[in-house]
Amino acid sequence: MYFIGTDVGTTGTKTIIIDENGNILGKGYQEYELIAGKGGFVEQNANDWWEAVKFSVNEAVKNINDKENIVAMSLSTQGGTTLPVDKDFNPLSLAYTWMDERAFAESDDILNKYGEKIYHTSGWRCDPCFDPPKMRWMAKNDPETFKNAYSFVSTVEFVNYKLTGRNVTDPSNAAMRQLINVETCTWDDMLLEAAGITKERLPECIPTGEYVGNISEEASKELNIPTTVKVYNGAHDQYCASLGCGAVNPGDMLLSTGTTWVILGVSEKPLFTDTHVAPGVHPVKGLYGNIASLNSAGSALKFYKGITGEDFDVLDKGAASRMESAENIMFYPYFAGSGFPHHIPQIKSCCMGMELMHDKFDLARALMEGVAFETRETLIDFANNGSDIKKLKMVGGAAKSELWTQITCDITGCELHIPAEKDTCCIGAAILAATGVGYFKNYEEACEKLVRYSKVLKPNPENQEFYNKKFARYHKGYEHLKAFFFETKE
């Protein structure tokens, strides 16, 4: 049996086809554009998603001679992107992506009216990126489109419809739209009121992994796969990544190291916290995936790379021997402001403790440590709220670095698992398909069979002792940094 996992991301779509033993039989990828404009506009052409799905699936299956063995497919998708469509699912405008910030005034209005009820219902704080402010903006600034929209959908619904003719979403993607009660998984009256719409203009919300339908005849021809292929409901990309890296038990954590480091901790209850951890329904029944984001964590090293002119491997090797020489350097990686758990955008990046003896490799080491310290701050916040994390499943760019992975392991004190397959969102979607069709009895069994690790790291006790002391000074230094920025502002 073969299973297809397709990840419809922010900048492109990837597809992987695997067999029941986890062997990768084919891959495909196609990029598309983000269309940025004044006023915080960040848009996409939704038809580009479908063209990329077609191309990537065709690429992935082109060497499969026995296509009748392809039995199931599922999706991983970007979340929080808003698209008005007509009855035939033709887009009525460009899609407002999850990065679009045009509706900042509407977001402030919603916050002023509903306050923390928004967070404690949806799991997410008020923000211009979500549907309620976007829909208010559309109703005010593009009333004809708002009036004529048969349905408001996001990426997973649009592609599900193209595959099967059915307009359905899942709880993780519905949560990213800030229109669902995260504990009941139903469209919420207060959130709908905030958005100015009724649930009749929204897709059906069914559980992740539930059968959506078979591939339609038209989609079968376009994707070059049989109509016998069954489509199972997908999930938001971070939740698919958690499956694809094996984060399926309470106490597991996905550490996704992209431009922003995204942390998803698995727990038996949703975490509603003063620091605004964002809880969502995990694909594993009865579990929740709780998300926090570290702003600019990954892009900090990329920024530094651009300044030094060195590539990542050179910085990695040079910084490997600098633990002691960089002991007194504290690098706070807040290039987009201080993110979780602080949420103070006015506090910017800063480096303390440099001397003339220090060089670019000492600073590179301190920067990697700074990001890992922020990760530890996040783990402490999770623990304080009843979710004590023991294992990190690390994916993304930083997972390729031997140094950064070990630093993260030592500073957090967590066992670190590095998946062998880097496209964990696609693997997670394939796991949804394989489990949905009944080949595996549950996601835990599927992960045991299909998820493999290239490396498992354990904390070095001596390094842990060193970093416990440095973390205490790093934490104390943050308070001085906060005072500096606010005193300067005054």
* pLDDT given for residue 415 in this prediction: 93
pLDDT cut 90: percent of the chain above it: 89
- Residues 6 or more apart whose Cβ sits within 8 Å of residue 302: 259
As given in the structure block, the two tokens for residue 408 are 């993260």
Pairing of strands 261-267, 252-257: antiparallel
Strand partners, 82: 96
Q: Are 426 and 16 in contact (CB under 8 A)?
A: yes
- The average confidence (pLDDT) of the chain is 94
Half-sphere exposure of 237 (CA within 13 A, CB side): 26
pLDDT of 305 above 70? yes
Minimal CA–CA distance to 246: which of 263, 266, 262?
Answer: 266
* pLDDT given for residue 111 in this prediction: 96
Q: 152-183: per-residue pLDDT in tens?
A: 999 999 999 999 999 999 999 999 999 999 99
How many Å apart are CA 127 and CA 104, to the nearest integer?
7
Q: 19-53: per-residue pLDDT in tens?
A: 999 999 999 999 999 999 999 999 999 999 999 99
* pLDDT given for residue 224 in this prediction: 97
Among 190-199, 290-299, 395-404, name the one with the lowest average pLDDT: 290-299
> For residue 341, is the peptide bond before it cis, meaning its omega torsion is within 30 degrees of 0?
yes
Residue 40's CB is within 10 A of a number of other CB atoms, namely 14
Query: Environment class of residue 276 by beta-carbon count within 10 Å: exposed (0-12), middle (13-18) or buried (19+)?
Result: middle
CATH numbers and ranges of domains, the chain: 2-239 (3.30.420.40), 246-420+428-490 (3.30.420.40)
* pLDDT given for residue 42 in this prediction: 95
How many Å apart are CA 344 and CA 141, to the nearest integer?
31
How many Å apart are CA 325 and CA 424, to the nearest integer?
36
As given in the structure block, the two tokens for residue 106 are 């509407």
Label residue 487 by pLDDT band (50, 70, 90).
low
As given in the structure block, the two tokens for residue 151 are 């349905």
- The three-point CA angle 278-449-270 to 5° equals 15
Q: 81-129: per-residue pLDDT in tens?
A: 999 999 999 999 999 999 999 999 999 999 999 999 999 999 999 999 9
pLDDT of 488 above 60? no
As given in the structure block, the two tokens for residue 375 are 């990760």
Label residue 481 by pLDDT band (50, 70, 90).
confident
pLDDT cut 70: percent of the chain above it: 99
* pLDDT given for residue 243 in this prediction: 97
pLDDT of 347 above 80? yes
Mean pLDDT (whole number) for 124-151: 96
* pLDDT given for residue 346 in this prediction: 86
Query: Looking at the whole model, is its pTM more than 0.85?
Result: yes
What is the amino acid identity at position 332? Y
Strand partners, 43: 35, 96
As given in the structure block, the two tokens for residue 19 are 């067999």
* pLDDT given for residue 189 in this prediction: 97
Residue 79's CB is within 10 A of a number of other CB atoms, namely 23
As given in the structure block, the two tokens for residue 283 are 């694909």
* pLDDT given for residue 94 in this prediction: 98
pLDDT of 455 above 80? yes
Label residue 196 by pLDDT band (50, 70, 90).
very high
* pLDDT given for residue 130 in this prediction: 96
As given in the structure block, the two tokens for residue 456 are 């498992």
Minimal CA–CA distance to 431: which of 209, 228, 98?
Answer: 209
- The three-point CA angle 179-161-225 to 5° equals 140
Buried b (16+ CB within 10 A) or exposed e, 7-25: bbbbebbbbbbbebebeeb
How many Å apart are CA 63 and CA 66, to the nearest integer?
9
* pLDDT given for residue 69 in this prediction: 97
- The three-point CA angle 428-220-63 to 5° equals 65
As given in the structure block, the two tokens for residue 50 are 């479908």
Mean pLDDT (whole number) for 397-423: 94
* pLDDT given for residue 490 in this prediction: 45
pLDDT of 251 above 70? yes
How many Å apart are CA 419 and CA 278, to the nearest integer?
25
Strand partners, 391: 252, 415
What backbone phi and psi angles, to 5 degrees, belong to 480?
Answer: -65, -40
